Amino acid sequence: MKNKSIAALMRSYLKLKGLPLRPALSFDDVQIINNISDINSRSDIKNLRTRLARNFFLNIPIVSANMDTVTDARMAIALARLGGLGFIHQFFPLEERIRQVMEVKRADNALIERPVCIGHWETLGKTKEVMKKYGISSILLTDDHNYLYGIITSRDYRFKDDDSLPVEKVMTKMPLITAYVTISRKEAENLMEKHKIEKLPIIDHDGRLVALISAKGILKEKEFPNAVRDKKGRLVVGAALRLNADYMKEAEKLLAAGADVLLLDTARAGSTRVGEAVKNIKVKFKDAILVVGNIDTPEEVEFLAEAGADCVKIGIGPGAACKTQEETGVGLPQLYAIATCVAIAKELGIYAIADGGIRNGACLSKALVAGADAVMIGSLFAGTEESPGITFRKGNQLWKHYRGSASLEHQLDRIKSGSLDEVRNPEGESGVIPYAGSVHSVIEGLLGGLRSSMSYVGARDLEEYWKSGKFMWRTNAGKEEGKPRI
């Protein structure tokens, strides 16, 4: 590392941030020092852009945890629309993870390059089954050579009860309103408006189906201007790999499905086994963006960076459903872990996600001042409308289930599914969490606190916020003084 030792870099960085080398501190132990600021209002702060790799940016510094009670396609869609990123969790079977990734990629997408199709000879029942699987209300029908044969929508069969009917008897047959691949977006919009159609099949000059333009997708693009999209205009999505499975096959399949970021997630990412896996993935998929976690020491950052990781995930045990620190005695306070790991990550040109311990806007702000490029959130999102699972009422309160990935309940479910051989000593908890409404409202609350903090520091973007932001160690009395007392 340019002839600089890890210890020297740590000391220099902690001194720069106003943090002591010892003891290790966490969020409640410090406050951010305010500066003279020319920012009139937090609403003046518009730019919250950050990056997770050299060529991959987010519009807000928030990602959702790859937990089975936090992130599936619905959460990932919501996060990407708001400017963040969701990680489809690794506890789905591979085929389901692929389907979930593809669902995110189809959402809000004006131009669908690989539209879901079905043979025109199929039954109405089969057609309904495919439409339900992919969450769509219409489907194109083709022949064996991909020539467009017709389209069927829910309006065509809403009063049909016989699922054995050939779909040809209820579909809208050719000729349909179509367009060639050379059509521009504006021309497509005008054509769809003229004919009052929701879907515009795109064909080549031989008449074969090659794509589909969706009116819903066009409107969604306009509705969510802060959304993070790939080069083809699709929402971005991350997907987690299972270290104990054929992770090379999983990486290949998930990338082919459209995953923008891969996450190799395990409790001990500082192991040689993980290092070998990182090397293998980056050798075969050199352009893939790979996040690896979890770790909490600068030595692990150097180890994973040398293996090829683009981004590291920091945090051993600070999560609301995690009891690793309690069970093992391992795990550093999160703020100290972030700062010391980032000191090395920035030197090596890789990026960092702070995972765990984010309870409010103050924790988010402190994690970013410490140097994290983004934070990963679990418990705050688990109670939202968009998280997996049902909302239920207990007494006068609405609740949702939330559990750690190392909880006994989760391990038992994994044994049933065949992804785990035996129960290990649980290092996580399971329980319920209050219903929190939409994830949009939770994120707006977090970002409101962040923007306010940035205005105190005098920073108009996150790079300036990190450079200008410094901490002051505070006592327990100082912490109590800062709490409301009414």
Report the alpha-carbon distance of residue 411 to residue 388 in Å, rounded: 18
- Alpha-carbon distances, residue 467 vs 10, 23, 371 (angstroms): 16, 23, 9
**Which residues are known to be catalytic?**
322
Pairing of strands 199-203, 179-180: parallel
The number of beta carbons lying within 10 Å of the beta carbon of residue 181 is 10
The letter for the amino acid at 65 is A
Cα angle 144-147-149, degrees, rounded to a multiple of 5: 95
Q: Is the peptide bond before 175 cis (omega within 30 degrees of 0)?
A: yes
Give yes or no for a contact between 33 and 18, defined as CB atoms under 8 angstroms apart: yes
Residue showing tokens 């990781």? 309
For residues 240 and 66, the answer to whether their CB atoms sit within 8 Å is yes
Measured CA to CA, the distance from residue 40 to residue 447 in angstroms comes to 17
Q: What is the CA radius of gyration of the chain?
A: 25
DSSP 274-338: HHHHHHHHHHHSTTSEEEEEEE-SHHHHHHHHHHT-SEEEE-SS-STTB-HHHHHS----HHHHH
375 phi/psi in degrees, rounded to 5: -115, 145
- Alpha carbons 19 and 475: distance in angstroms, whole number: 14
